[in-house]
């Protein structure tokens, strides 16, 4: 039967992944599964050997999606609402598990029928989807909205095709057939920069602290080692940021600002992100080969700790902030290892207290700005509204502790050996207190909108007093 010439109302079938939403629920489901229990990583190959449908159904049986917060394509949703209002029959035809597809259909309320991958082992993609639609409506008896190479066979069987944000295969098909095109937001350099969190690389400047404090500013070998360590750490950090974004997609989409991140908003695809992770880790590893072998151990420890933080530790009360403080301190240790300089107990103690205070600022801001009931936890965290005062008290106390450690260090024998004029660096203690306490005051005023470290880097007052401290260090030394 060929219905291409019929004038009766033609049903409209719509693909889901990449078409109705600018993401892929199979990938998202995998990361939800691994976040729930990383050991499922070993089960995925077993399920996949039984076929894609088995893998999809096993994932769907163990995780849920938040249909309301998914990155829907506005133009497609608007088109479907108009067609639905006009009385047209609309089908959701997808290879996504039925559980996910029905949740989305229930949220949008425009679909009359849901065709999806089911427990019978039918992976409803490509030729299977084509056969099912032809069985229901005849060859040419439906219009179809899709986006990828998996949709080409369905395009050929449809009366008319609407191609949405196509991959290169679907783009060629659309160009050769002159079908209707609905474009999507294309990835750009800004999206990639945001994916990499380039501004966060400034945190890795802590790698240079051991070299600076040992007064080896003009040592070409140490400068090169610092640059290589910075590149290696920055590439590794960006890789972890990307993976962390994958695990946090549902939470980010519920956040006022994080929902605009490249993966949460659907600007960049998860496969693109995974390819970027591999490339970044390769850059990190290649760069690390030019540094002392012990640097590899520190870098591996950083990767393990950040991965553990993403998967679990960030949801643990207080463990999360101690982990963050430790990760900052590991950057200083990495710099000492890369330049083969000694790192003092004083420096490590100062770093732990200073960065613990800043980590607590982040949690304080989240508690202060998130509207949840007493006894409830912040999504993805281990804190409740009633914890806000102890978090603030602990943060301010840590700020004073860092200044106290610095003051004791300035009065130590080590400083007298390093600095001919140690009294010149006494202002460092009040400078540190000024920076940290000002951050806490702004947080109390609800004027702290950035990561505290990023805030220090961008804030001209913090820059000014930090520069003053650096000048005093140089004068005291020379």
Q: What is the CA radius of gyration of the chain?
A: 28
Burial 33-69 (b: 16+ CB within 10 A, else e): bbbeeeebeeeeeebeeeeebbbbbbbbeebebebeb
The verdict on 252 and 365 lying in the same domain is yes
The H-or-E segment that residue 409 falls in is helix 388-410
The pLDDT of residue 421 is 76
Within-domain flag for 41: yes
For residues 151 and 236, membership in a common domain is answered with no
- Distance between CA atoms of residues 174 and 380, nearest Å: 42
Is the residue at 2 inside a domain?
no
Structure tokens at 415: 């400083």
Spatial separation of the C-alpha atoms in residues 74 and 82, rounded to whole Å: 12
Residues 220 and 346 in one domain: yes
Domain membership flag for residue 1: no
| Region of 109 on the Ramachandran plot (φ > 0 left; ψ -120 to 50 alpha; else beta) | left
H helical segments located in 312-387:
319-339, 345-369
Q: Quick one: 92 and 234 in the same domain? A: no
Which residue from 148, 171, 105, 161 is spatially nearest to 269, judged by alpha carbons? 148
* Angle subtended at Cα 217 by Cα 215 and Cα 219, rounded to the nearest 5 degrees: 105
CATH of the domain at 349: 1.10.357.140
Residue 355 three-state SS: helix
Whether residue 170 is found in the same domain as residue 195: no
- Hey, CA dihedral for 380, 382, 385, 387, is it positive or negative? negative
Alpha carbons 268 and 192: distance in angstroms, whole number: 8
What single-letter DSSP state applies at residue 199?
G
Could you tell me if residue 46 is inside a domain? yes
Walk along the chain (478 residues) in steps of 10 and give the mean pLDDT of each run. Answer: 51 96 95 91 92 92 94 95 93 95 96 88 88 94 94 95 94 94 85 91 90 83 94 96 92 86 93 96 96 94 90 87 93 93 87 94 88 74 88 95 90 76 83 93 86 81 86 77
Same domain, 152 and 278: no
DSSP string, 221-252: HHHHHHHHHHHHHHHHHHHHHHHHHHHTHHHH
Domain harbouring 39, CATH code:
3.40.50.1000
Is residue 294 domain-shared with residue 328, that is, in the same domain? yes
Give kind and range of the element (H or E) at residue 389: helix 388-410
Q: Could you tell me if 155 and 212 lie in one domain?
A: no
What are the backbone dihedrals phi and psi of residue 388, each rounded to the nearest 5 degrees, phi first?
-60, -40
416 found inside a domain? yes
> Pick from 162, 182, 202: which residue ends a domain?
182
Strand pairing report for 160-164 and 143-146: parallel
Q: Are 246 and 31 in contact (CB under 8 A)?
A: yes
**DSSP secondary structure letter of residue 24:** -
Residue ending a domain, among 182, 202, 229, is: 182
Nearest partner of 196 among 166, 152, 231, 240, judged by Cα: 240
Q: Are residues 328 and 222 in the same domain?
A: yes
Is 221 part of a structural domain of the chain? yes
φ, ψ of residue 386 to 5 degrees: the values are -70, -5
144 with 282, same domain: the answer is no
10 Å Cβ neighbour count for 165? 21
For residues 424 and 403, is the Cβ–Cβ distance under 8 A? no
pLDDT at 2: 46
Please say which residue of 140, 157, 182 terminates a domain: 182
* Residue 301 and residue 161 in one domain: no
What is the distance between the alpha carbons of residues 170 and 43, in angstroms, rounded to a whole number?
Answer: 33
Q: Do 297 and 358 sit in the same domain of this protein?
A: yes
Neighbours of 456 (CB within 10 A): 20
Distance CA 413, CA 410 (A): 8
84 CB-near residues (< 8 Å, 6+ apart)? 90, 110
Q: How many domains does the chain have?
A: 2
Domain coverage including residue 340: 189-477
Q: Is 7 domain-assigned?
A: no
Q: What is the pLDDT of residue 446?
A: 87
Indicate the SS3 state at residue 176.
Answer: helix
Query: Cα–Cα distance between 184 and 132 in angstroms, integer?
Result: 28
* Side-chain-side CA neighbours of residue 442 (13 Å): 20
Identify the pLDDT of residue 3: 45
């Amino acid at each position: 039967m060929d219905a291409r010439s019929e004038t009766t109302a033609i049903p409209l079938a719509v693909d889901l992944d990449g078409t109705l939403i600018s993401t892929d629920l199979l990938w998202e489901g995998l990361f939800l599964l691994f976040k729930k229990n990383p050991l499922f990583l070993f089960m995925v190959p077993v399920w996949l050997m039984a076929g894609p449908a088995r893998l999809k159904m096993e994932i769907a049986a163990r995780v849920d999606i938040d249909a309301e917060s998914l990155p829907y394509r506005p133009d497609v949703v608007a088109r479907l609402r108009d067609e639905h209002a006009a009385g047209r029959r609309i089908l959701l035809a997808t290879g996504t598990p039925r559980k996910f597809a029905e949740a989305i259909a229930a949220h949008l309320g425009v679909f009359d029928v849901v065709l999806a991958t089911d427990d019978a082992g039918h992976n409803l993609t490509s030729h299977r989807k084509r056969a099912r639609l032809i069985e229901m409506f005849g060859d040419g008896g439906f219009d179809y909205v899709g986006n990828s190479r998996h949709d080409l066979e369905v395009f050929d069987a449809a009366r008319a095709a609407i191609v949405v944000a196509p991959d290169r295969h679907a783009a060629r098909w659309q160009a050769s057939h002159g079908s209707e095109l609905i474009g999507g937001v294309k990835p750009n350099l800004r999206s990639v920069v945001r994916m990499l969190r380039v501004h966060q690389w400034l945190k890795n400047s802590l790698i240079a602290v051991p070299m600076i404090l040992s007064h080896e500013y003009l040592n070409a070998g140490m400068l090169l080692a610092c640059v290589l360590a910075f590149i290696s750490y920055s590439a590794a950090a960006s890789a972890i940021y990307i993976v962390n974004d994958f695990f946090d997609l549902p939470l980010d989409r519920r956040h006022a600002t994080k929902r605009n991140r490249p993966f949460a908003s659907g600007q960049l695809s998860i496969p693109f992100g995974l390819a970027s992770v591999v490339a970044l880790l390769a850059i990190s590893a290649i760069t690390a080969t030019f540094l002392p072998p012990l640097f590899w151990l520190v870098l591996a420890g950083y990767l393990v700790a950040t991965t553990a933080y993403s998967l679990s530790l960030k949801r643990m009360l207080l463990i999360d902030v101690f982990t963050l403080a430790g990760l900052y301190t590991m950057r200083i240790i990495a710099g000492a290892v890369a330049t083969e300089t000694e790192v003092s107990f004083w420096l490590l103690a100062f770093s732990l207290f200073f960065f613990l205070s800043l980590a607590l600022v982040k949690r304080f801001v989240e508690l202060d700005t998130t509207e949840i009931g007493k006894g409830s936890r912040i999504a993805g965290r281990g804190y409740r509204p009633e914890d806000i005062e102890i978090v603030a008290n602990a943060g301010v106390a840590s700020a004073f502790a860092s200044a106290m450690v610095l003051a004791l260090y300035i009065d130590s024998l080590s400083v007298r050996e390093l600095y001919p004029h140690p009294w010149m660096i006494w202002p460092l203690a009040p400078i540190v207190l000024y920076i940290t306490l000002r951050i806490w005051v702004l947080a109390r005023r609800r004027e702290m909108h950035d990561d505290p470290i990023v805030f220090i880097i961008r804030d001209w007052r913090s820059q000014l007093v930090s520069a003053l401290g650096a000048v005093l260090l140089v004068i005291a030394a020379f």
